[in-house]
Structures are given as C-alpha cells and as structure tokens.
Chain A
Amino acid sequence: MPKEHLLTKITKEATVKASEALLKLTHQQARIEFTKIEVGKVKDVFLKLDPESVVAGVYLPISGDTKGASVLIFPEKVSFLLCDMLMNRKLGTTLKLEEHDKSALNEVGNIILGSILTVLSNNLNLKMIEHMPNFCQDMLGAVIDQVIVQFIQKTEEVLIAELVFHFSGTEVKGYVLLIFETEEIKKLIEGL
C-alpha cells in the first residue's frame, strides 16, 4: 500500500477507535479526530505550542517489539472541559483540577493513547505493550522534556499526531507524541 494511503488509513482508524472508546467512557456525543500524523524533530513540538503554556499530559511507556514513549498533551482549557464531560458537570464548571479529575484524565489519556498504539501495532505488525499511564499538569516544556531526555541519545525524531476533540459544539486541539528508539522509529517510518 502506498505510504500516504497507509498514513490516511491509520489516521482514520485511530479516529474511529479513540472516538468509540471515549463514547463508552463519557456516554456523551464526543468525537476525536486525528487530523495529521507526521514525523518531526523534537524541537518542532515547540513550534506548535508555547513551552510555557500550561498543559495536561499523560505519559504511557511502551515496550514489546518497540521501546518508546507516548504522551498525550492537551491545553489546560481542554482538560477542564473534558473533566466537565466526564463528571457530568455543566461545561465551564471546572476551573482547577482536583485529584479525581486528574485520575479521570489519566484514564482518558490511557484510552486515547492505547487506541493509536493499537492501530499502529496492527498496521505495522509490531507488538507494542503499554504500561501504566502517568499524569502531569504543568508547562508544556516541563511536561515533555523528561520523556524526550530518555531517548535523545538515540533519536531526535518523533511522531507528532494532531487531534481535535469535538463535543457540545466545541472543538479543541491536542497532540500525541510518539518517541521510539532509533531502530524502531526507522521501522515505523518505513512502515508508514
């Protein structure tokens, strides 16, 4: 299959899978759309979002045929709206994340990251084992630098996926970063 068609296929499948999973969790008409998946440099991430902007991040380590990390990032505003949805509150209620909010977001992150990893795994025929998700809320640069540092000696390339959350007439953007050790990212790029 030509590379660009495979990428489109992965994008669409990830969208369907993540939306289905989110619907099961929230019981609300929410949709996630993966709008773009591309290979970029680590520093490219900071072209898309200000490193000082506050984000919620969910980090999911990966092992199996590939070793790496996946991180879901959404702007703080998105995290508040998501919490409102998850907790059946009126949109705009959440202004600060409490512990139960963070747990819920951690679970959402686990679902979304798990969805995209499953789709990648199936399409690229690579076994990917996900581990426990971890939540962090802070400046974007701070949230992702520790993840990047684990792999920076072996690769400076990452897969960056842009996604849009659609719910209650609102659309907000988030990002998924996928970082793998050098041989693995080559396989992924070749696969894509």
Chain B
Amino acid sequence: MKSIEVNMGDIAVVQGEYYLTASGIGSCLVITLYDTKQRIGALAHTMLWAHRLSAEAREVKEERRKVNPESPDTKYADIAIEEMLKRVLALGAKREGLVAKLIGGANMFSAFVSDIGKESVESSRIKLKKEGIAIVGECVGGSQGRSVEFSVTTGIVTVKTKF
C-alpha cells in the first residue's frame, strides 16, 4: 500500500489503498475527512486559523489568491477544510457520507500565552458542524507530540506518541 507523508501546510486527497501520514504534530492540527462507502480520504496538516490574519495580511492573501486561485493556502485550517471538501466531492464522495477526525492542537511550550492549537481545534469543530460533517474521533490538546497514520482502505486513524 502506498504511503503519502503530508507536510506542514499541505493536504492530500486520495481514493483506494493508501496511507496518509503526518509526523511530529505539536500545535498543528491534522484534519481527516473520509467517505466510508467510496473509500475516499483526505488529510490536511494545518497550522493555524485564517482569522488570525491582520487586515494587512488578509489583503496580501486575497491579492495572491486572485493571481493564483488554484493554489489555496492550506496552512489555514478553514481554507484546508473547504479545499478538502471540494476535492473529495470532485472525486465522487457524498457529502452525507463524510466523517471527520481531529488530531493535534497541543500546547508544547507553556510560555505561549495564546494557545494556537486550542483555537484551531475549536474553530475547526465549528466549521465542520456548519458544513454538516460529523466529527467521529478526536485526539487533541494536551502537551504531547503526535504522529498520524490514516488508512484510506479502512478509515482507521492511528495516533502515535513517544511518551
């Protein structure tokens, strides 16, 4: 079975016998989408939520999107969710058959006042609910790093930690 490592800021959408993996997740949030009948799966390795952008950064982002609409900035979880949805549906997934899982969103250093991971988790829950997608599993928060392996063949998501 083929394995695809999804790096920080990227997404992958596949159908059939694949593993989608993301290694060494701290505050980043991994979101998986899965159509159990069609065996279509997607994994996004997101970094933060787009509403953190300043007004100036939003303008720059919008300008870039106009120039290159094919290249959405999937390091932002809300954009990644929209892009994953678009692509799984294009592959033949049925919206009513989609389920999601969330992994990550830890706070690795207590020095950080703003908990970016927690914010990504809470915002993603709201976004997925708005899209009508049920979250059927979560392994989030805490202060531990995680690695994720998502079997698109079975829909099983395995989470590994070192401690």
List residues of B whose CB falls within 8 A of some A CB.
Answer: 7-9, 23-28, 47-48, 52-53, 57, 75, 106-112, 116-117, 143-147, 162-163
Is A191 on the interface with B (CB-CB < 8 A)? no
Q: Give the distance in Å from the alpha carbon of A154 to the alpha carbon of B47 in the complex.
A: 14
Q: Give the distance in Å from the alpha carbon of A42 to the alpha carbon of B146 in the complex.
A: 19
Determine if B162 and A43 form an interchain contact, defined as CB atoms under 8 angstroms apart: no
Determine if B163 and A138 form an interchain contact, defined as CB atoms under 8 angstroms apart: yes
Size of the A side of the interface (Cβ < 8 Å), in residues, is 30
List residues of A whose CB falls within 8 A of some B CB.
Answer: 42-43, 46, 50-52, 54, 59, 61, 131-132, 134, 136-150, 152-154
Q: Would you give 17 A-B contacts (Cβ < 8 Å), ordered by A?
A: A43-B8, A52-B24, A134-B111, A136-B143, A138-B108, A138-B162, A139-B23, A139-B145, A140-B24, A141-B23, A142-B108, A143-B108, A145-B28, A145-B47, A146-B108, A146-B109, A153-B48
Determine if B23 and A146 form an interchain contact, defined as CB atoms under 8 angstroms apart: no
Determine if B25 and A141 form an interchain contact, defined as CB atoms under 8 angstroms apart: yes
Determine if A146 and B117 form an interchain contact, defined as CB atoms under 8 angstroms apart: yes
Given A139-B162, A152-B47, A152-B75, decide whether A52 and B147 contact each other with a Cβ distance below 8 A. Answer: yes
**Chain A residues within an 8 Å CB radius of B23:** 50-52, 139, 141
Given A136-B109, A146-B108, decide whether A51 and B75 contact each other with a Cβ distance below 8 A. Answer: no
Determine if A139 and B53 form an interchain contact, defined as CB atoms under 8 angstroms apart: no
- Name B27's contact: one of A42, A59, A132, A145 (CB within 8 Å): A145
- Name B24's contact: one of A43, A136, A145 (CB within 8 Å): A145
Q: Give the distance in Å from the alpha carbon of A56 to the alpha carbon of B28 in the complex.
A: 19
**Chain B residues within an 8 Å CB radius of A61:** 111
Q: Which of B23, B47, B48, B143 has the most CB of A within 10 A?
A: B23
Q: Give the distance in Å from the alpha carbon of A33 to the alpha carbon of B144 in the complex.
A: 31
